[in-house]
Structure 1
């Protein structure tokens, strides 16, 4: 199983109405939730560990997980409110405003976390769940507990406007990067994490030297660059008619993990001996899946059948 650990929320998406104005329609979302959904649709055995409300929005989240083949045994239910993310689209690119204080997701503690069963091959972390306390510390502690036995994949998916204590967040992120096997960042994330400059490859390699086996940098239409301590690999993007980019990175992450699993590299020991070239099929699958997502509105990742026959 791939267990996704982090936020599940409601995206309020701007939607034109007949009167000519704009309404905001609720859609299930959150970086970690979106990746779990994409994993389920791509045929992976996936589960979500998250704080989820018992309110109406929380029930929407649970129903969506179940409809997309994602396990819900690790959800932590409470009567706290669901996090809301107001989505603003600018030239097809999503910008978010979050309403998260004391929410069902951000209020979980280490004591709330369920025991991890046998059979989990990888844990995936990231998103805004690494910002708000006490949940952020709980997820960090969970990573520390699991890192010795499970492959750890991290995508910070940084939202600068959501970060209230930047020094504490940067320190937590550095500790979690050091415990990770694979770190995926966008080029914008990399700029935020390493503002001191240098080439993309140099900065990604510095991150590798802190702990990860591989750092994967997505560059939108310019494809992906993967860096290890001693090698570099570029992989092209898949052309697509872009409607918006909501959920694109999350879908890429799911394709990457499914691709690694298909070639036996999601196992921690196998990944430790992998070459950078071994990642190429997984990068291709991630790009193919992301291309489908950006071609339609919202975080709507493809099902495995939609990718059949692609090279």
Structure 2
């Protein structure tokens, strides 16, 4: 199982009722949640780990995971509320109001971390769950104890969410030092003050650098390969990066490369094939509204 560890939340999106009243509609979301959903739909053995509420919104999240064949049996369940993100549009630009204090996800503590068992072959971390404590520290502990499992990290840094930059930088540095796969954008690298060469020298096996409409660079110690993006009519880009992450991991799983020794010895062409699956899956996601990753049959 590829276990995606991080945030799941409810996006409250602005809508208008049949009588013209302004309202909000709940949609399951969250970067790590989206990656787990996309993995399940692509036919990979997908699992999700995060604090899940027993409330109405937690049930929506659980049902969405189950519908996409994602195992969430390792999730601690609690009576704490679900994280909500209310979205408003100003001149077409989205603004977010987060309600995250004392929520089931944010309050995930180290004692609640489950025994991963032999069935977990890889761990994925990322998103805003690496910012807010105590959950961020819990995921860092899980990452440090990954053992021989493959670890992928997509920090997807959002400076506006960071309240303790010193602690966040230190925690992220520890996690990146353990990562086998790291996905970064130019903005991520600028904020971190790093580059693929530095990460590779520090032990990362594969660095994925996203280039938007140009595609993605797959960088290893042996060299660099550009995997071009697909040309599609873009509806929105919500969930595109999350879907790419899932496609890459699913591609590694299909090729038998989801072990640390296999990943370290992988040919660039094999890694490029995995990245191409991520690119193709992401192209479907951006062609329709919201974070709605494709099923395997759609590819």
Give the counterpart of 1:283 among 275, 286, 290. 275
Whole-angstrom CA distance in 1 between matches of 2:91 and 2:233: 13
Could you tell me which of 242, 246, 251 is aligned with 2:243?
251
Q: Which structure 2 residues correspond to residues 1-311 of structure 1 after superposition, within 5 A?
A: 1-17=1-17, 23-87=23-87, 96-146=96-146, 148-194=147-193, 203-307=195-299
Check 1:231–1:305 CA distance in 2 against 1; reply closer, same or farther (3 A cut).
same
Q: In 1, distance between residues paired with 2:14 and 2:210?
A: 26
Name stretches of at least 5 consecutive residues in structure 2 with no aligned partner: none
TM-score scaled by length of structure 2: 0.94
Q: Quick check: 1:93–1:244 contact (8 Å CA) kept in 2?
A: no
Q: CA deviation at 1:101?
A: 1.6
Structure 1 residues 94, 188: CA separation in 2 closer, same or farther (over 3 Å shift)? Answer: farther
TM-score (norm 1): 0.91
User: 2:130 & 2:181 partners in 1: Cα distance?
Assistant: 17
SS of 2:208's partner is strand
Query: Retained in 1: the 8 A contact 2:218–2:272?
Result: no
Shift of 1:268: 1.6
In the alignment of these two chains, the number of paired residues is: 299
Is the deviation greater in 96-105 or in 32-41?
96-105
Q: Tell me how far 1:185 sits from its aligned partner.
A: 1.7
1:4-24 residue CA offsets vs partner (Å, 9 max, x unmatched): 111111112233555667533
